[in-house]
Amino acid sequence: MSTGALYNDQGGAEAAVEAGQESTPTSSGSGAAFGLFSADFKKNEDLKEMLESSKESLKLEAMKRIVGLIAKGKNASELFPAVVKNVASKNIELKKLVYVYLVRYAEEQQDLALLSISTFQRALKDPNQFIRASALRVLSSIRVPIIVPIMMLAIKEAAADLSPYVRKTSAHAIQKLFSLDADQKEQLIEVIEKLLKDKSTLVAGSVVMAFEEVCPDRIDLIHKNYRKLCNLLVDVEEWGQVVIISMLTRYARTQFTSPWKEGAMFDENNEKAFYESDSEEKKGHTEEKPYIMDPDHRLLLRNTKPLLQSRNTAVVMSVAQLYWHLAPKHEVSIVTKSLVRLLRSHREVQYIVLQNIATMSIQRKGMFEPFMKSFYVRSTDATHIKTLKLEILTNLANEANISTILREFQTYVKSQDKAFAAATIQAIGRCATNISEVTDTCLNGLVLLLSNRDETVVAESVVVIKKLLQTQPTQHSEIIKHMAKLFDNITVPMARASILWLIGEYCERVPKIAPDVLRKMAKSFTAEEDIVKLQTVNLAAKLYLTNSKQTKLLTQYILNLGKYDQNYDIRDRTRFIRQLIVPSEKSGALNKYARRILLAPKPAPVLESSFKDRDRFQLGTLSHSLNSKATGYQELSDWPAVAPDQSVRNVEIIEAVKEWTPTVGKTKQPKSDDKFYSDDEDEKEEEGSDSSGSEDSSSSSSEGLFMYFTMQMFSSCLAAKYHFPRQPCLYQPSMVAVQVILSNSSDHSLEEIHIGDRSPASLSIHCFNTIERLEPEASVTVSMGIDFSDSTQAANFQLCTKEDQFSVSIQPAVGELLMPSSMTEQDFCKEQGKLQGMNETSATITMETANASSQAISKQVLSVANVGVVSSSQNNFSRFAGRTVSSGALVLVSLELKESSTALLTINTEKTVMASMLLRDIKQALTQA
């Protein structure tokens, strides 16, 4: 039986399973083994048969067993031909399991793997996005160099796919192809560049990941997408957030100037004052100082802050490191609370977070001091957590809190975990050297510990006392005597060596004891550890120089023992010491200086944190955790002295905004757009209210060519009008900005005006802040953002006052769901070429004669739709380009003037519903006067 069992183990899991199935006990061991062997052989055969059978269920059963083999790390590669045939199966589960198998073994069976490729190529064209995506996923996971060109092609196509999910998959595929064949880098960068422009939150994380893997140095690709990434960040899935934040940290360090200029005059007091105040308010202060933060820099800080509330610890940590590396010093402390929160998470999370806090707390005690108690050690903590907490507590120690910390340390010394107790003693030593007020207290405490029963505690105390005495050797002969007495009872080599060194170093203070100790050591020399022997030799040499009368013979005896020691270090040292101290003919010159060499005053050791210079690594990284550079670590650059050109981050959309003034045709008008990104929401509000005063604004804006205006009275006491200012929405790029003018027409003041319930419930609205009070006859302009999701469905919501509520419905005209996009005529024609067929809607119209000039056409079209004019070289053509606000799909409008006043109006866009509505609106505008 035992032999059988043995074979079972060797034969691996399949044999074991088999043995379980046919558990017929056989008397002869060899027979059983033979039987098992053949069963094993047959077993693979039967898997093959199962796979080749016509029954789906059998095939599935076989695949499940094969996956079981793979999971256990058993080799199942010989079944490759049988498995690969099932790649085109209709059964989804079977297909998925075949994929699992294929990805695992394709590398080993390259030729056979090629058989499956055509299936995937077909699936890449499937109308269902999920099938396309999964085909690309598997195709790109097959690590067969021959298919690199096919993969490249598939990636390029998928990157232009309409489905964001497929585009996301293509971003993942980029990394896979890159690791398979790095020569494709240039082409892949092109794809990355394209995908970076993508506005979908699904794609953002994955493409940044690809960027980091393939071309982390091409920072120039980020410029144009920086603001978009910042704005999308909150809505990206959590794993993508981590990657984007860490990339943006690197980016910001190359593009903005240091916000720490004022850091020189920054001190702890300042910081303390800051704790009380809310961070939001403080932000305004940066403006007063000569340093002005780049609005884009501020945008990043502002948009990452809410992520501190994420449930994902990696996201919180990455925001914390972003603030640490990028924020003005006084703002960094807002991350403290969140980091401390992470300490209640799993053990492994605690470990990493504590490491980072340890590094931070060296430079910035104040950040964590209020949370000192969170770092108190629990007896249930794992040892590495305990030592990290100890490290942090030591870093936080200062004159004010040292007594509390020392009291806490006292309980740790009594801990049953002796390694931890020893670490505590080290920590006490560090506190004692750092804070001179408590040095004596600590020293006394440590001396008391010398009578502790536990050896490791005593030994550690000796070592620490030695270091402390070195810093102030004057009046401590008592302690040295005490330690000399203890010497016989201490067996830990490091402690014995330390005592010997101390006695030797200060032998003149203990002239009577020192020779006696040497005598004892001479007796036990051969039985000692190497470090103890070395120190004995040292002690002997020093005594020989100071007290040769008593110790000459002893020294010679020890040197003789050392001469024949097994360890060559000790033999070396003995030889060296002998030449140095015992006068002879050869060693004349050096001999004179022996005393000065051996008994020179030695600098005291500096006790400092092992986290001292860990901040050379970016926080939160693997390299930081290991304190050594990991493969692929990207250095965080220093702030540039002068900020690089800021305008590189400007994007066309913002330029299009400048078409606010009714000058048609001139697209490029340089004008500061800083305001759009400036800090305070209030400021934005003010901007709006500047132009308000309900009556004027309506009249002035009706003059404005691009204004689309609607009015709505819905109650006797509160009147609201809304209009579309045709600005990009400040809250979220996918929202349409709406300005609402609220006026109180009743005779009493209204309070707490805010937005209540909305429908459909999923409708995302960026509400305005609650208006506390609106006096009679007064009016106020507020701006809000509504994501219409590119449909003209009305957004309904409740407008509430303290007493009452009214339902409001905002129905956008289709033209307001667009935003202008500026492009050249060539680009326009190119894009138009891509949107042919069912994406094209056209109609021939007969225009009012007054509208026949191109200026008039522009005026009319722009009054209906928020699009940009494309400058045209042909007189009979007028072209306009825009994108839908929510999904960013292109909308191209072109008008070809025919003879007399007929014209061909063409709209190209993938949003066909919008196209037909827009066509109707434009037609109406052009045919009527």
Does the footprint of other proteins cover residue 351 (CB under 8 A)? yes
User: Hey, is 897 helix, strand or coil?
Assistant: strand
Site for other proteins in 234-293 (CB under 8 A): 234, 237-239, 242, 246
Q: How far apart are the first and last CA of the chain?
A: 102
Stretch that binds other proteins, among 310-318, 434-442, 484-492, 719-727 (CB under 8 A): 310-318
Closest CA to 611 of 599, 603, 619: 619
Site for other proteins in 133-162 (CB under 8 A): 137, 140-141, 143
Stretch that binds other proteins, among 99-107, 534-542, 550-558, 588-596 (CB under 8 A): 99-107
Q: Which of 51, 353, 428, 903 binds other proteins (CB under 8 A)?
A: 353
Does the footprint of other proteins cover residue 551 (CB under 8 A)? no
List of residues 6+ apart from 798 with CB closer than 8 A: 755, 756, 757, 758, 805, 806, 807, 808
149 vs 144: CA distance, rounded Å: 11
Stretch that binds other proteins, among 151-159, 426-434, 651-659, 767-775 (CB under 8 A): 767-775
**Nearest-approach distance from CB 492 to other proteins, in angstroms:** 18
CA distances from 226 to 121, 169, 241, 245, 634 (A): 35, 22, 14, 11, 19
**Nearest-approach distance from CB 308 to other proteins, in angstroms:** 8
Closer of 260 and 351 to other proteins (Cβ):
351
**Nearest-approach distance from CB 65 to other proteins, in angstroms:** 9
**Nearest-approach distance from CB 73 to other proteins, in angstroms:** 5
CA distances from 803 to 345, 714, 751, 799 (A): 45, 16, 8, 11
- Burial class of residue 602 in the structure, from the number of CB atoms within 10 Å of its CB (0-12 exposed, 13-18 middle, 19+ buried): exposed
CA distances from 220 to 146, 154, 840 (A): 32, 26, 35
**Nearest-approach distance from CB 108 to other proteins, in angstroms:** 9
- Burial class of residue 391 in the structure, from the number of CB atoms within 10 Å of its CB (0-12 exposed, 13-18 middle, 19+ buried): buried
Q: How many residues bind other proteins (CB under 8 A)?
A: 104
**Residue 781 bridge partners (DSSP):** 741
Does the footprint of other proteins cover residue 836 (CB under 8 A)? no
409 vs 687: CA distance, rounded Å: 57
Closer of 375 and 828 to other proteins (Cβ):
375
Does the footprint of other proteins cover residue 468 (CB under 8 A)? no
Does the footprint of other proteins cover residue 382 (CB under 8 A)? yes
Closer of 382 and 850 to other proteins (Cβ):
382
371 vs 186: CA distance, rounded Å: 50
Q: CA neighbours within 13 Å on the CB side: how many for 157?
A: 16
Stretch that binds other proteins, among 186-194, 223-231, 762-770, 858-866 (CB under 8 A): 762-770
Closest CA to 871 of 852, 854, 849, 848: 854
**Nearest-approach distance from CB 636 to other proteins, in angstroms:** 12
Helix (H), strand (E), coil (C) string for 421-434: HHHHHHHHHHHHHH
Does the footprint of other proteins cover residue 772 (CB under 8 A)? no
Closer of 54 and 416 to other proteins (Cβ):
416
769 vs 747: CA distance, rounded Å: 24
Q: Which of 194, 341, 365, 482 binds other proteins (CB under 8 A)?
A: 341
Site string (72-91) toward other proteins, x via CB under 8 A: xx-----------------x
Does the footprint of other proteins cover residue 923 (CB under 8 A)? no
Does the footprint of other proteins cover residue 309 (CB under 8 A)? yes
In angstroms, how far is CA 694 from the centroid of its own chain? 46
Closer of 103 and 219 to other proteins (Cβ):
103
**Nearest-approach distance from CB 884 to other proteins, in angstroms:** 16
Q: Which of 481, 684, 766, 920 binds other proteins (CB under 8 A)?
A: 766
Does the footprint of other proteins cover residue 757 (CB under 8 A)? yes
Cis peptide before 760 (omega within 30 of 0): yes
**Nearest-approach distance from CB 136 to other proteins, in angstroms:** 10
275 vs 334: CA distance, rounded Å: 9
Does the footprint of other proteins cover residue 453 (CB under 8 A)? yes
Q: Which of 116, 119, 170, 206 binds other proteins (CB under 8 A)?
A: 206
**Burial track 534-546 (b if 16+ CB lie within 10 A, e otherwise):** bbbbbbbbbbbbb
Closer of 28 and 759 to other proteins (Cβ):
759
Site for other proteins in 398-417 (CB under 8 A): 408, 411, 414-416
Does the footprint of other proteins cover residue 634 (CB under 8 A)? yes
Closest CA to 538 of 510, 566, 562, 520: 562
